[in-house]
Amino acid sequence: MSSKIGIIGTGSCLPSIVVTCDEMDQALNARPGWTQRATGIRERRRAPAETSLSDLAVDAGRAALRTAGVRADQVRAVIVATVTPDPPVPAAATRVQDRLGLTDAFAFDLNAACAGFLFALEVARPLAGADAERPYVLVIGGDVWSRMIDPLDRTTWPLFGDGAGAVVLGPVDSGGFLATKLATSGALGDLAVGGYSSALPGPDPASTDHLFKMRGAEISDLMMAELPRLVQTVTDMAGVKVADVDYLICHQANPKLVGRCAEQAGFAPEQNVNTGEIFGNTVAASVPLGIDVAVRDGRLRPGSLVILAAFGAGMSWGATLVEWSSLGLREE
């Protein structure tokens, strides 16, 4: 069994309701075009009332297992990165495990907000390949964030959408994960706060206390300062140059902000995988959705170097450098 671990399958699921920038402008009583000018977002997705986080996660996970060619009995663990489970107990991952028939896998949720998927990858890597009979780990990032934001709040309402993305980790012939740097500063925890269950159709109209709030300017400053450092750190750790990296897939905090951060870190616009323009900020789903898009449109090919990066409430942030792999070493 190879000691190298990589991503061997990807999948995604987006809810059916499309919210356009015109609709967001109207909800905010803003001038036409304000949302797109301010954020770079043209549209995003919203889950119908009957759709839960685990519904999206199951569909994304099923797609990732299918593209990886992995059987249910070969999966050792299921990790769902989310802050909007349905409800918090039991974990959303247990529902995913059951509905996908992954009866031999253990399952749990992980919460690091928008950085959750990267943190989940770090937890998953040593689990993948360690068991010869079950060498694969399903990692899903997903959130139903539209139920946690105030439609009258210009700092959050235009940004956040719903969705789920998934990857399968397993042994690979070449490439795989090269370097990772994660960080948390609990002292900055009050920059982004909120809490709600995605199983409910919407917030209590009598109160907005539970809805998500953030200090956007300070978070933007943190991203502008830290993303170039993260990029330099993981490339130094791997012994490559920033110029050698083909793509950056950053969580879509705000597409315009991410574009500025990417340029500051040394990436040309065409190297920045921008999904926020049509999906918005899908929190823990943002990075795996970007991966799946880049795989399906042919940008990520064997040998491609890609940096995955994210910043989440906590505050938590991180980056990982991956050499894109060919098909994994699968047991038939």
Q: If DSSP states are collapsed to H, E and C, what string results for 34-45?
A: HHHHHHCCCEEE
CB 272 within 8 A of CB 184: no
Determine the pLDDT at residue 314: 67
Catalytic residues: 114, 251, 281
Q: Which helix (H) or strand (E) holds 18?
A: strand 17-20
Q: What is this structure's pTM? A: 0.90
> Which CATH number characterizes residue 235's domain?
3.40.47.10
* Two structure tokens written together for 224: 């502008």
* Two structure tokens written together for 5: 């671990």
Full residue range of the structural domain in which residue 11 is found: 1-332
Residue-by-residue pLDDT tens, the chain, 332 positions: 567 999 999 999 999 999 888 888 888 888 888 888 888 888 899 999 999 999 999 999 999 999 999 999 999 999 999 998 888 788 999 999 999 999 999 999 999 888 999 999 999 999 998 888 899 999 999 999 888 777 777 777 778 899 999 999 999 988 899 999 998 867 766 656 666 545 555 545 555 656 666 555 777 777 777 888 999 999 999 999 999 999 999 988 788 888 888 898 899 999 999 998 899 889 999 999 999 999 999 999 999 999 999 987 667 889 999 999 865 444 33
Which among 17, 86, 93 has a CA at the least distance from the CA of 61? 93
Compute the distance between CA of residue 173 and CA of residue 2 in angstroms, rounded to an integer.
7
SS3 328: strand
Q: How many domains does the chain have?
A: 1
**Cβ of 203: how many Cβ atoms within 10 Å?**
17
* Two structure tokens written together for 61: 């996970």
Compute the distance between CA of residue 34 and CA of residue 174 in angstroms, rounded to an integer.
46
